[in-house]
A and B are shown apart, each in its own frame.
Chain A
């Protein structure tokens, strides 16, 4: 594995190995005085964010720092991007400045893939073994692989196993890279995935996804092992996708009444940031059924596992 661009790159064996390694990192850090491992000492990890983010960027930064990498954060608004520098030039500049890994978030779908192609082409033309590892930290409405991995880890911890479990993903499927990555990764890991959304918030081609489509949340909650609520991505909406926030909330919000429809063991996930009162009621978000903060903690361990996989070892870099 050279880059992590999409969950389709991950076989069931690799995905499970990544989940296991994230848990090993959790164990390795448990009960210790110093939250610092020397594993990536001397490596430089750069985050390049063309969109705002708290948890993903912080999570990668903490993961890198706990493994002793030098972590440098670049945000589009405070870099030469605001002067009109192209994506390719920015990426090549950061690599020339010494990046061993570029963690990229970009509003355009496929941006991370494109950077990876440029970097690999550059590595070949300059006669080097390899360029930097590219990690997709969210590209437009396409994918967010590390989020799907940390969600899978959280589900495995809450439910004991993912195989055969029913996961209901609710809300703005159309604009959600989290939904897309989760559907494909959870299917790879053997879960049964149900998508619940208004017709206007389903992407073209969703029928080909390994998931069942439904429109009534009330009907899907009984028997579900987990519910993954999505954020309504108003910033990506250029028209009316539903009549009003209130109506959306009544039809697709996870209220206390709906929480009662779930089985005792079922977990509630949300990738954040959450709009309390719209997608999820405040008492539900703060209930012990919700795994939202556990997702954040798992995010750090998961990203440590990904950095470990991509930056340590020789076999794939040479191949």
Chain B
């Protein structure tokens, strides 16, 4: 009985990348350096432009909206928006969606504070929404985000962009844009550091501390 609970606790914590102690992170193996992170974001921006035909300027091209999942997904979405504008001349709308209120494990996990939600100007009705998060793990965060989006309006389509896909999916969810695929064990932890939150960029893999 204890095993699934423990697993759920681990997956939830790691997926939201809440635990970033500098010492712990330093002890880990570097997966992406600061320049790798910025190169990866630029590549995803190009892919989004290509796949959504942002620069085509066609009459029936959908409005593209980037929605970041707090906390680090929001910063990634903001950076992608800047890059997309730089490369294509078109600036997609930007929003953020806190998924805490939509989680399915609220009763079984400790209280967590809410993060910022902001619906972009013009809403998401009939838009092509790109959800942005730092790490894709069990897929439960994305499921919550899809529920949340449904309450905001009806997008034409929803795509998913993540910096790291570490596997271990518990739901049939897959990303459209992946910065780096990292096969991990469940005993490992991925830490994404971003300047906006941590003072510098980088992605690290480390063994989870024994409780």
Contact = CB atoms under 8 A, between A and B. Distances in A.
Interface of A: 17, 20-21, 24-25, 27-28, 30-34, 36-39, 67, 308-309, 312-316
Contacts of A34: 150-152
A24 B119 contact: no
Interface in B105-141: 106-119, 123
Contacts of A309: 111
B151 A315 contact: no
23 contacts: A20-B113, A21-B113, A24-B114, A24-B115, A24-B116, A24-B117, A25-B114, A28-B114, A31-B123, A33-B151, A33-B152, A33-B153, A34-B152, A37-B101, A37-B151, A38-B102, A39-B102, A309-B111, A312-B111, A313-B109, A313-B110, A313-B111, A314-B110
B101 A28 contact: yes
A163 B110 CA distance: 30
A309 B118 CA distance: 22
The B interface, classified by DSSP as helix, strand, loop or mixed, is: loop
Contacts, number: 65
B147 interface: yes
Contact of A27 (B112, B117, B123): B117
Given A24-B116, A30-B119, A39-B106, A316 B151 contact: no
Nearest to B114: A24
B106 A312 contact: yes
Interface of B: 98, 101-102, 106-119, 123, 147, 150-153
A39 B101 contact: yes
The A interface, classified by DSSP as helix, strand, loop or mixed, is: loop
A38 B111 contact: no
Contacts of B118: 27, 30
Nearest to A37: B101
Contact of A313 (B106, B117, B151): B106
Contacts of A31: 119, 123, 152
A21 B151 CA distance: 20
Contacts of B119: 30-32
Across chains A and B, which 3 residue pairs bring their CB atoms closest together, nearest first? A313-B111, A24-B114, A31-B119
Given A28-B98, A32-B119, A32-B151, A21 B114 contact: yes
